[in-house]
Structure 1
């Protein structure tokens, strides 16, 4: 008797739970769908302030300030430049990011990404060619973003040389 029942669409164990490869495929699919539905700051946009969002945000322009979301995903495109403390569910960075990142799930640093700041995440993926200057804390048990005090973090960031 086989432990797995396979169909064309999904793989499940006899108890109905999904295997690890199916879960990974779903996460990739959700990230791609979120990126397609993202609010986008285009290359010609510059914004300063606080951005709060719930779905997805793609930045190809310049942003300075603070970004907060409980369930949202942040995409910093190749032309994106962000100077901010960020707390998100997931982040994909292809451009430049100056500031601290706390992700309750996953951070991906793509090939030409520049991250100057501290990073906390449950999962971290770093491609070859990334520039990362800062402290890194990867914890499979995750981090609670609501306990992060960004005002204190912002003060600490400003104390260092720029």
Structure 2
């Protein structure tokens, strides 16, 4: 199962840190850190994350309250980030909400 995608479905709640290597789709509720060195995390439109997110690539459709650190970050329409972003590349669609500071490049 090389390059397997991990899925945390809507209705699942986790308190604690999540560490993964490949790709992960989160559509549930997380209270804690999400950590991956090079992996890609997609935070679905039903997802609520209360904690920092650190991954190679982050696509945000839902809500995050915490800091996002990534190589590439995409804030999709109707997403909401209450926190800071530190990324090399940022894409933000119309309708996305960002309440925090951004550090882009480097």
Shorter-normalised TM range = over 0.9
TM-score norm. by structure 1 comes to 0.62
Answering whether residue 58 of structure 2 is matched by residue 91 of structure 1, we say yes
Stretches of structure 1 lacking an aligned partner (at least 5 in a row): 1-33, 142-162
Q: CA-to-partner distance for each residue in 1:108-146, whole Å, 9 max, x for gaps?
A: 00001000001000000000001100010001x3xxxxx
Verify: 1:129 aligned to 2:104, yes or no: no
Moved over 4 A (4+): none
Match of 1:57 in 2: 24
From the two aligned structures, give the one with the greater strand fraction.
2
* 1:79 counterpart SS class: coil
For 2:19 and 2:60, the matched residues in 1 are separated by: 18
Higher helix proportion (structure 1 or 2): 1
Partners in 1 of 2:30 and 2:22 — Cα distance?
Answer: 18
Give ranges in structure 2 of 5+ residues lacking alignment.
Answer: none
SS at match of 2:16: strand
Root-mean-square deviation over aligned CA pairs: 1.0
User: Structure 2 length normalisation: TM-score?
Assistant: 0.94
**Cα separation, 1, equivalents of 2:64 and 2:41:** 11
Q: Which has the higher contact order (CA 8 A, sep 6+)?
A: 2
